[in-house]
Amino acid sequence: MTRSAFPLIFAFLFYLTANATVHFKTRMPNLDNVNNIEIHFFKGKPSTYKTNRPIDLNYLKELITKAKNVPALQFDTTGEIIYFQDKTPILKAYFCSRGSGSKYKSTGAVMFRIGPTPIKALLNYGSGMLINEEFYQLNKKN
C-alpha cells in the first residue's frame, strides 16, 4: 500500500465513526419491553386512560415503530401517550384526532421526537379507534 492511501483510509474511517455516533444519538427507542401505556386527554374533561392490555400495547407500539414521517401534516395536540417499561417512561408522543377534539377534520396524527428530529405520522387504524373510543367513554354523560 502506498503512503498516499493512508490519509484516504483514515478519512474514510473517521467518516464512518462520525456517522455511527450521530445515528446512535437519534435511533428509535426499543419499545419491546414496554408493558404499560398511559393516554392523557387534554380536551373535554381532562382524563387518563391506563392500559396494559396486549392488544392496546400492540396498536400503540406499532403507531411508533411503523410511523412514516409526513412533515406537512396539520397538527394540534389533543393528548399525549406515554410509554413505560415498568414505571420508567421510555417515550412520550403527542396526538390529535377528530374524535378527541382536534380542530382539524382530517385523519388523526401523532408526533414524537427521535433525538432532535420531530416525526409526524398518521394514526394507524387500531390506535385511532382506541383513542377515540376511550375519549368518548371518559367524556360521555352518565
Task: Return the CATH number at 102.
Answer: 3.30.1490
Which residues span the domain enclosing 54? 36-139
Write the pLDDT tens digit of every residue in 66-120: 999 999 998 899 999 999 999 999 999 999 999 999 998 777 999 999 888 899 9
| Count of domains for the chain | 1
Write the pLDDT tens digit of every residue in 1-28: 555 655 555 555 445 444 433 333 457 7
138 to each of 4, 42, 44, 96, how far by Cα in Å? Answer: 70, 12, 9, 16
State pTM to two decimals.
Answer: 0.78
| Cβ atoms of residues 52 and 101 within 8 Å | no
Residue 62 included in any domain: yes
pLDDT, residue 18, reads: 45
The one-letter code for the residue type at 10 is: F
Residue 7 included in any domain: no
